[in-house]
Structure 1
Amino acid sequence: MGGVADAESLSTAALKTYPIAPGTSVNVRSGPGTHYPIVRTLPAGSSVPIYCQCPGETVSGYYGTTTIWDNIANGQFVSDAYVKTGSDGYVAGRCA
């Protein structure tokens, strides 16, 4: 039975979401920088999964200044400066 619980724990961990900055709507870009096109906007109060992270353009936001960008879906990135991860560093693997 331990194997089943372990698989469930891994599955749950993979689906963890992180809240975006309070009272803020955040632009989702097609790449890790503000020069990439906006593909959608997250409304205030949203939470996002982080599939992987990569370095990109420096952004100053609610949670400080960072070069880390979070991949929240295929071809969709938000600056980590607007995502509450509880860390100033990487909390997910690097994007390939």
Structure 2
Amino acid sequence: MSVESDSSQVQSLASGSGFPTFPVAPGYRVNVRSGPGTNYSIVDTLPLGAYVAIRCQCEGTNISGPYGTTSVWDCVGNSRFVSDAYVKTGSDGYVATRCA
């Protein structure tokens, strides 16, 4: 499957989730981790052009990326987290409820 079809599939899956959907920074393949930090294992990698549906957000490892430095991590699935530094939410703070 090509990168274009991967990102289209990711965007359509994310947009149908009922959660707010945001684009991942262009030109980045972002690691998806099993928890909110770099000490958690990588469980997946988002393709170029991906969109993510943010279920909730929580505090984790401080990360620098194209959208600044933050300790906010976005839960994009069951035990699936990406650093908010790589997601264009339009905010430096929380845009979704805090994870329980």
Shorter-chain TM-score category? Answer: 0.7 to 0.9
Who is 2:53 aligned against?
49
How big is the shift at 1:14? 3.0
Q: Give the Cα separation in 1 of the matches to 2:82 and 2:19.
A: 17
> 1:25 aligned to 20, 25, 29, which one?
29
Matches within 5 A, 1:40-79: 40-79=44-83
**Is 1:81 paired with 2:68?**
no
How big is the shift at 1:89? 0.4
1:25-49 CA-to-partner distances (Å, cap 9, x unmatched) read 0000000001100000001100000
TM-score, scaled relative to structure 2: 0.81
SS at match of 1:56: strand
1:54-86 CA-to-partner distances (Å, cap 9, x unmatched) read 000000001000000000000000000000000
SS at match of 1:35: coil
Runs of 5+ unmatched residues, structure 2 = 1-15
Runs of 5+ unmatched residues, structure 1 = 1-11
**Distance change in 2, residues 1:13/1:40 (3 Å):** closer
Who is 2:20 aligned against?
16
Task: Decide which structure has the larger Cα Rg and report it.
Answer: 1
Q: Give the Cα separation in 1 of the matches to 2:48 and 2:70.
A: 20
Q: Which runs of 4+ in 1 moved over 6 A?
A: none
